[in-house]
């Protein structure tokens, strides 16, 4: 890792050269809020994507998978929030096609280079005319400004309370490369290929196969390590578009340039993933689980995900209750094998660090300190397995009254 070589800058999807964005109030499902966004590259892009592993895939996921698999260039993405376009049959597919064709007409690029993405209610048809009108409006307001990128990141939100965007720069062969991105949560979040919706843009020049490999690898320790509610969505989509305008020599092997890009990609994805976890539906805090010295990488991932995924763990975090038995219980049913007599467990936050379990035996601990540690906005459960050398970190959030409230009547 060369963290000092990755510089965070202001901005998001419009930070890299040649990328523009726009958004509009299309009234897909709600009024008086922006609910459509578009990201456009001035030149065609090499692209890669990862998608939900859910057997029930939204029409838009199927549309995008086709583009990514075809090897075609991608030049625009149109996103709507409000209706997911999942479980919608032929009519859902037709809505994707109509949207892409509207972009073709407005911007004179092939419909086959236009990705679409949707988030919202499942099992409801999209209002195609509103989508087409939205594309027409956005095509006239596309801009290569930070403001346009930020506005787009807000338009794709559903129950999110904060927008998520980031941009970084790094050097490749003397050229400054920029990588930016945006994503949204915040319910039905338990990615199992990638996360709900994420869009990354870069002016890097790189071969398609390497772009896909980097993306597929990075999500394993970023988007795939977050969970809000254990529900893997029908719509999870992460796309990256690389337009080459940084004019670096095209990355064609896993040399130094690839490594720096990989690290930048990891930085961006990790940032967006953490933000999504901490802004999970109804969440009051970020809940992190770090597992070290596990028998294998897969075990470390499984164990840390089980901890942040347990409803009982999440409720304890909400109640600031150092009920550590729930974390051990979750580890126990995760599927990973281990001996509880090897395990040490700690609570950590900016307020301190406290060991509560020592190789099979519960420790008498300072309840006041435990409470203080847990009353912060980012709480970590740190587990030392003492059985190997592998580690992983997973992110989630607490389970609150508001989660129930949001989801007991989400459709209305």
Burial of 15 (0-12, 13-18, 19+ CB in 10 A): buried
Selected binder of a copy of itself within 6, 76, 131, 188 (CB under 8 A): 188
> What residues does 380 pair with on adjacent strands?
288, 348
Selected binder of a copy of itself within 332, 342, 376, 391 (CB under 8 A): 332
Q: Which is nearer to a copy of itself, 188 or 241 (CB)?
A: 188
Backbone phi, psi, residue 86, to 5°: -115, 145
Any contact of residue 401 with a copy of itself (CB under 8 A)?
yes
x/- track of binding to a copy of itself for residues 348-367 (CB under 8 A): --------xx--xxx-----
Cα 27 from Cα 35, distance rounded (Å): 7
**Which residue among the candidates 14, 150, 195, 201 is catalytic per the annotation?**
195
Selected binder of a copy of itself within 72, 111, 143, 312 (CB under 8 A): 312
Selected binder of a copy of itself within 70, 145, 340, 389 (CB under 8 A): 340
Nearest in space to 181 (alpha carbons), one of 99, 116, 264, 111: 264
Any contact of residue 331 with a copy of itself (CB under 8 A)?
yes
According to DSSP, the β-strands at 36-51 and 74-83 are antiparallel
DSSP string for residues in 355-388? EEEETTEEPP--HHHHHHHHTSSEEEEEEE--S-
* 3-state SS assignment for residue 345: strand
Q: Site residues for a copy of itself, window 35-64 (CB under 8 A)?
A: 52-57
Q: Which is nearer to a copy of itself, 139 or 186 (CB)?
A: 186
Q: What is the DSSP letter of 173?
A: T
Q: Would you call 195 a catalytic residue per the annotation? A: yes
DSSP string for residues in 94-124? HHHHHHHHHHHHHH-S-GGGEEEEEEEESS-
Selected binder of a copy of itself within 336, 374, 379, 381 (CB under 8 A): 336
Residues lying near a copy of itself in the complex (CB under 8 A) are found at: 52-57, 84, 86-91, 121-125, 187-188, 190, 192, 229-234, 310-312, 315-316, 318-319, 321, 323-326, 328-334, 336-338, 340-341, 356-357, 360-362, 399-401, 403-412
């Amino acid at each position: 890792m060369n963290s000092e070589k990755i510089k965070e800058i202001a901005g998001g999807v419009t930070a890299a050269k040649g990328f523009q964005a726009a958004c509009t109030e299309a009234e897909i499902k709600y009024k008086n809020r922006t609910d459509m966004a578009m990201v456009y590259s001035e030149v065609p892009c090499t692209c890669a994507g990862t998608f939900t592993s859910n057997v029930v895939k939204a029409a838009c996921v199927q549309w995008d998978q086709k583009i990514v698999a075809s090897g075609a260039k991608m030049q625009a993405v149109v996103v709507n929030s409000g209706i997911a376009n999942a479980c919608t049959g032929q009519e859902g597919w037709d809505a994707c096609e109509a949207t892409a064709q509207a972009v073709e007409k407005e911007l004179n690029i092939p419909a086959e280079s236009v990705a679409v993405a949707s988030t919202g209610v499942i099992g409801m048809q999209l209002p195609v005319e509103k989508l087409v009108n939205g594309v027409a409006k956005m095509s006239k307001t596309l801009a290569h400004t930070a403001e346009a990128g930020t506005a787009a990141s807000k338009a794709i939100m559903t129950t999110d309370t904060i927008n998520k965007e980031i941009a970084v720069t790094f050097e490749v062969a003397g050229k400054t490369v920029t990588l930016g991105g945006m994503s949204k949560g915040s319910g039905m979040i338990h990615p199992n290929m990638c996360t709900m919706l994420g869009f990354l843009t870069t002016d890097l020049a790189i071969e398609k196969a390497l772009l896909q490999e980097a993306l597929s690898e990075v999500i394993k320790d970023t988007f795939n390590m977050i969970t809000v509610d254990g529900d893997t969505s029908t719509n999870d989509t992460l796309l990256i578009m690389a337009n080459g305008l940084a004019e670096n020599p095209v990355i064609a092997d896993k040399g130094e340039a690839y490594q720096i890009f990989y690290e930048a990609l990891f930085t961006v994805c990790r940032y967006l993933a953490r933000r999504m976890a901490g802004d999970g539906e109804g969440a009051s805090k970020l809940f992190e689980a770090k597992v070290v010295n596990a028998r294998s990488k897969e075990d470390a991932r499984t164990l840390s995900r089980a901890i942040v995924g347990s409803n009982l763990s999440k409720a304890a975090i909400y109640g600031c209750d150092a009920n550590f038995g729930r974390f051990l219980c979750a580890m126990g049913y995760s599927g990973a094998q281990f001996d509880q007599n090897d395990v040490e467990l700690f609570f950590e936050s900016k307020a301190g660090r406290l060991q509560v379990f020592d190789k099979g035996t519960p420790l008498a601990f300072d309840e006041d300190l435990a409470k203080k540690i847990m009353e912060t906005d980012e709480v970590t459960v740190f587990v030392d397995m003492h059985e190997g050398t592998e580690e992983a970190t997973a992110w989630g959030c607490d389970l609150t009254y508001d989660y129930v409230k949001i989801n007991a009547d989400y459709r209305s």
